[in-house]
Amino acid sequence: MNQEEIRCTGCSKLLFKMDNGGLAGSLSIKCPRCRQFNNLRPMTSPSPERPDREGKEATCGSSYHQKT
């Protein structure tokens, strides 16, 4: 598995290495060199397609009636 290098956004010091997708929650780490806080969040990829509604009408909650 490929490892990703996490570097400080202020001074580019290597903070740690992790496997791709290894971060489950948010993380805040303080750089020991420049004392800057680095906030990390997991990368989420958008779902490629929206799931089907299985025959249900797509409603937005409005009271507008469609003409039939």
Q: What is the pLDDT of residue 43?
A: 73
For residue 29, the cross-strand partners are 38
Rounded distance between C-alpha atoms, residue 31 and residue 37, angstroms: 6
Per-residue pLDDT at 39: 94
Q: What is the pLDDT of residues 37-67, one digit of tens each?
A: 999 988 765 555 666 666 666 566 666 666 6
Predicted confidence at residue 20, as pLDDT, reads 82
Q: What is the dihedral of CA 29, 30, 33, 35, to 10 degrees?
A: 150
The CA-atom distances, in angstroms, between 52 and each of 13, 48, 61, 62 are 46, 12, 18, 21
Both tokens assigned to 21: 């997708």
pLDDT per residue over 6-42, tens digit each? 999 999 999 999 988 788 888 999 999 999 999 998 8
What is the reported pLDDT for 24?
A: 82
